[in-house]
Chains A and B, each alone.
Chain A
């Protein structure tokens, strides 16, 4: 059985000769959640637009469940639900009217429209909002209506461009749960610049940087690459650096913003324990010890350097 739902090959988009996205390749299987990660202007939204047929690629093809987006746009688009950067809502319609329109335009038979609307509202927590005009909704609720219109016809592939933008923490938690749930029956492509979000909901991740894929793989691989070999240590009465360097496995020590950044050599185990023990023995006044959390930029640097080293 063919379970590939999205197949993008050599996807390239140039504006006036400048490639915004170049040679992006990936496939997505049924039931997977794929995270598109990248800083602003990396080409995430452009890729999403090409996946959903809003933008014609300069080169390359997009296939949705084997149907070519350029040759058979109607059939391919019927299998997609898309939430763009700005939720596409008709301000003069109520939430119910908007969702009913989305249902009908995606070919849901008239008799089933009402049920589809109720379901979509329930899944996105909009049950109370049916009679409100889209114009009068807060940003968070508009975003939810945007998600509701993308999933109302139970598409094979749901494409969400920064789905949690403008939401409050509780809504973000709900929407992430919803995305995970969607991943069960559909395939989901979502873009974001929030790293923890990808870790929480995605099965696979692609990192896009200056229009190129710099990393593509299982989420576990990303987690590993985020685990650095450094510790942030806070000491009230720090000893001379030599004392720390004398501990087994410690490779380097540097001072950073009042804390000590301790780097240990690859494969060394038990460094944190050794530091804690030495601190107690030497009365260094340890008040903080934590793995040095790598920022998204560090991951990018790490990954791009890795790519270059491999090349």
Chain B
């Protein structure tokens, strides 16, 4: 556990040593800020048009899925850029040897890297959450609904990170890792659009299908289990891939 934290701390330090993390944080905040203001405006327009009580929906239910939905799309492009360096660049710069010859297991290396990234992703999630919470001054927000949205965003980003780390372990070239992760993630997000009937297994595979219930405030174990399985699968695959490095040289 201590080793995982040591590696996670190193990853976080490296992330913030490059401008990439700061640029992503700043741009995300700008983009979401604009979108948030825009949604608030549209909420008032929509509510003025709907006079009947059953047409009226709460502020949280109207604005938050939109804001968090955009945050997911931004992270879909941002996370591959963060994960691409994780293992590919360590290979390229010969620093992987440093970890391999230290008394740490492959699982600790991979999980440490994942925890480091998740710390960054948690910072992003908290920043989005705080922006949303600022509306609590003007209205009574549905805090529970807001939190399921934040959890959804966090789990989506965690899945992106796990897949990104795996892609990074396949190659020596960070750019290739980024492209591979982006395409794989985009595919997994939109795969439900190819489903012919509602019972198709493609629906179950789609990341978006598991995010949507959380966005509407439904916390279901099916979705949580899906994300947990997704993350575990790709982290285990990464460990296997690194083990192959040692075996095949």
A positions within 8 Å CB-CB of B: 13, 15, 46, 49, 52-56, 73-75, 77-78, 80, 82, 84-93, 97, 101-102, 104-107, 149
- Given A54-B100, A88-B95, A149-B98, are A101 and B10 also a contact pair (CB < 8 Å)? yes
- Given A54-B97, A93-B17, are A77 and B102 also a contact pair (CB < 8 Å)? yes
Residues of chain B in range 65-120 having any CB-CB distance to chain A below 8 Å: 93-105
Question: Is B6 in contact with chain A by the CB < 8 A criterion?
Answer: yes
Query: Chain B interface: which size bin?
Result: 20 to 34
Q: In the complex, what distance in Å separates the CA atom of A145 from the CA atom of B15? A: 22
Some 13 contacts from A to B, beta carbons below 8 A apart, are: A15-B249, A53-B100, A53-B101, A54-B246, A87-B94, A88-B94, A91-B93, A97-B13, A101-B6, A102-B98, A102-B102, A104-B6, A106-B102
| B17 in contact with A89 (CB, 8 Å) | no
| B103 in contact with A77 (CB, 8 Å) | yes
| A107 in contact with B103 (CB, 8 Å) | yes
B69 nearest CB across to chain A (Å):
34
Please indicate the chain B residues that have their CB under 8 angstroms from the CB of A75 in the complex: 103
| B97 in contact with A84 (CB, 8 Å) | yes
B positions within 8 Å CB-CB of A: 2-3, 6-7, 10, 13-14, 17-18, 93-105, 246-247, 249
- CB nearest to A110 among chain B residues: B2
Selected from B7, B13, B249, the residue in CB contact (under 8 A) with A13 is: B249
- Given A104-B6, A105-B3, are A74 and B101 also a contact pair (CB < 8 Å)? no
B117 nearest CB across to chain A (Å):
16
Q: In the complex, what distance in Å separates the CA atom of A92 from the CA atom of B11? A: 11
Closest 7 CB pairs of A and B: A88-B98, A78-B103, A92-B17, A86-B94, A82-B101, A77-B103, A52-B101
Chain B CB count within 10 A is highest, among A54, A89, A105, for A105
Q: In the complex, what distance in Å separates the CA atom of A54 from the CA atom of B247? A: 9
Q: In the complex, what distance in Å separates the CA atom of A80 from the CA atom of B104? A: 12
| 19 more A-B residue pairs beyond the given contacts A93-B17, A107-B2, with a C-beta to C-beta distance below 8 A | A13-B249, A54-B97, A54-B246, A73-B105, A77-B101, A77-B103, A78-B103, A80-B101, A84-B94, A88-B97, A88-B98, A90-B14, A97-B13, A101-B10, A105-B3, A105-B7, A105-B99, A106-B102, A107-B103
- Given A74-B103, A74-B105, A88-B95, are A56 and B246 also a contact pair (CB < 8 Å)? yes
Please indicate the chain A residues that have their CB under 8 angstroms from the CB of B98 in the complex: 88, 90, 102, 149
Q: In the complex, what distance in Å separates the CA atom of A92 from the CA atom of B246? A: 26
- Given A78-B103, A90-B95, A93-B17, are A105 and B246 also a contact pair (CB < 8 Å)? no
- CB nearest to B3 among chain A residues: A105
B120 nearest CB across to chain A (Å):
15
B210 nearest CB across to chain A (Å):
35
Q: In the complex, what distance in Å separates the CA atom of A52 from the CA atom of B249? A: 13
Q: In the complex, what distance in Å separates the CA atom of A97 from the CA atom of B17? A: 12
| B101 in contact with A54 (CB, 8 Å) | yes
| B14 in contact with A55 (CB, 8 Å) | no
Selected from A55, A86, A102, A104, the residue in CB contact (under 8 A) with B246 is: A55
Please indicate the chain A residues that have their CB under 8 angstroms from the CB of B100 in the complex: 52-54
Please indicate the chain A residues that have their CB under 8 angstroms from the CB of B7 in the complex: 105
Q: In the complex, what distance in Å separates the CA atom of A91 from the CA atom of B6? A: 18
| A105 in contact with B101 (CB, 8 Å) | no
Q: In the complex, what distance in Å separates the CA atom of A106 from the CA atom of B10? A: 14
| A93 in contact with B14 (CB, 8 Å) | yes
- CB nearest to B104 among chain A residues: A105
Please indicate the chain B residues that have their CB under 8 angstroms from the CB of A49 in the complex: 249
Q: In the complex, what distance in Å separates the CA atom of A145 from the CA atom of B41? A: 57
- CB nearest to A55 among chain B residues: B249
Q: In the complex, what distance in Å separates the CA atom of A90 from the CA atom of B249? A: 22
Please indicate the chain A residues that have their CB under 8 angstroms from the CB of B14 in the complex: 90, 92-93
- CB nearest to A94 among chain B residues: B17
- CB nearest to B247 among chain A residues: A56
- Given A55-B246, A55-B249, A104-B6, are A92 and B18 also a contact pair (CB < 8 Å)? yes
Please indicate the chain B residues that have their CB under 8 angstroms from the CB of A88 in the complex: 93-98
Q: In the complex, what distance in Å separates the CA atom of A90 from the CA atom of B99? A: 11
Please indicate the chain A residues that have their CB under 8 angstroms from the CB of B97 in the complex: 54, 82, 84, 86, 88
Q: In the complex, what distance in Å separates the CA atom of A87 from the CA atom of B18? A: 21
A110 nearest CB across to chain B (Å):
9
Please indicate the chain A residues that have their CB under 8 angstroms from the CB of B17 in the complex: 92-93
Selected from B13, B103, B246, B249, the residue in CB contact (under 8 A) with A106 is: B103
Please indicate the chain B residues that have their CB under 8 angstroms from the CB of A52 in the complex: 100-101
Please indicate the chain A residues that have their CB under 8 angstroms from the CB of B99 in the complex: 105
Please indicate the chain B residues that have their CB under 8 angstroms from the CB of A78 in the complex: 103
- CB nearest to A76 among chain B residues: B103
Please indicate the chain A residues that have their CB under 8 angstroms from the CB of B105 in the complex: 73-74
- CB nearest to A105 among chain B residues: B102
Please indicate the chain B residues that have their CB under 8 angstroms from the CB of A102 in the complex: 98, 102
Please indicate the chain B residues that have their CB under 8 angstroms from the CB of A80 in the complex: 101
A11 nearest CB across to chain B (Å):
14
